[in-house]
Amino acid sequence: MVKINVSFLLIFDIPRKNIGLKKKVNRMLHRSRAEFVQQSVWRSENLETLRKIANKIKSEGARASIIREEIVF
């Protein structure tokens, strides 16, 4: 039996003028050991932590989504 790890992607859009929020979010992501995928896209198996970060982003008026990553082939 193969163990399948479930990963999630946090995708966000923070306006350029909100540099303070960008720095805070990046620190939170690094502390959580999330994996940088590309600009504004991070991967983690820890859904709860990603939810907290996404809620912080949204509470500041920016956009954030979390999707489940599924590789099928």
The domains of the chain are located at: 7-69
Per-residue pLDDT of the chain (73 residues; tens, 9 = 90+): 666 678 999 999 999 999 999 999 999 999 999 999 999 999 999 999 999 999 999 999 999 999 999 877 7
Global confidence as pTM: 0.89
In this prediction, residue 71 carries a pLDDT of 78
Q: Find the helix or strand (DSSP H, E) in which 25 lies.
A: helix 19-31
Q: Name the residue among 65, 72, 26, 20 with its Cα closest to residue 47.
A: 65
CA 42 from centre of chain = 5
- Note the CATH number of domain 7-69: 3.30.70.240
